[in-house]
Amino acid sequence: MEVRASLTPQDPFTRPVDIEISAHQRRCIDSDNICAKLYIDGLRHAGILQDDTPTYVRKVTTQSVKGDSNWVEIGLDKIQT
């Protein structure tokens, strides 16, 4: 997984990525109820993704994780082209 803290709006991903969204919650929900679009659009608006078209986003997966608090982890993996 890429370290997201070091990214700035000036250096978005320019190669295709796989995105993994993990929703950590006190009460697990079905993984298919996690709305990935909101998070991906947020990455695009923040300048982390150049675009959210299939040219730049190859695959999106979601998972629900039982935890002590509610938070979301987003992982981006660069695809070697």
Antiparallel, parallel or unpaired: β 17-25 and 57-66: parallel
pLDDT < 50: residue spans in the chain: 1-3
So what's the pLDDT on residue 39?
A: 95
- In whole angstroms, give the CA distance from residue 35 to residue 48: 19
pTM (predicted TM-score) = 0.82
| Residue ranges of domains in the chain | 4-78
Which tokens in the block code for residue 12? 């978005």
